[in-house]
Structure 1
Amino acid sequence: MIHHFIKSEHALGEVPFNVTYDVPHKHKKNALSHGLGVLAKLIGVIGYRRPLLSFGIPGLVFFVAGFVLEIYTFSQYVRAGAFHFILFTGGISFLTFGLLLMMCGLILNSLVIIMKEHRDDTNRHV
């Protein structure tokens, strides 16, 4: 709410008040589900505003992990002649998923930049 009001240039102030927690049925959500809901919302906001951060960094981590798995798999094959099919499949999956996440981050980041430029152009003409 604070972010919304600051963007709309409203004045903010503090107002003292008293709180009574004598609620007969208490809360409908437990602390864990409420905390997970807040975390999901926070990740959603970060993903919307900074897609390169929320998609690109995990994509890079998956890509590097897949690359390391592939290097290990091929080094074991060359050194010992043993081919680890599960590690190979996992490495390829991590590489692919990492590249997809990084590409999604780049595309979404481009869209965010275009939307900001469009919003700035619209505000200049009004």
Structure 2
Amino acid sequence: MRIGHPPGFLLQHWRGAMAAALCAASLLTAGCETEPRFRPLTSDVPPPPVFVTVAGEADCQAAQARYALGRLADAPLLEEMRNRTGSRSARTGPAGAPLPMPADPGRLTIDLDAEGRIAGARCG
């Protein structure tokens, strides 16, 4: 009478355990070797859009021009933006350009990117 495991029983379990350990080690190693998919912020990242209303001035509300963000600027769109913001006049300029002195709180200044798309709006 034979007591114990059949021949090769431990060898079969040993092979299965080794295969599982090898797979786990290769997955762990592969995860450590992949490059991160995020891109660090550089100067290539455009600034966020700006919507500024001069405090205390009720005649120009730049926030009302948000609907036009990213659209190509043309005369009808600029006139609609001027009407929606309640400003007396409007002008366009490159994004981030300083306001001319003296600032006119009733004027809507529309910032354009290099492609002519609306990047922001501000009063002044």
TM-score band, normalised by shorter chain: under 0.3
User: Normalising to structure 2: TM-score of the pair?
Assistant: 0.25
Q: Which is strand-richer, 1 or 2? A: 2
Whose radius of gyration is greater, 1 or 2? 2
- TM-score of the two chains, using structure 1 as the length reference: 0.25
Greater share of helix residues, 1 or 2? 1
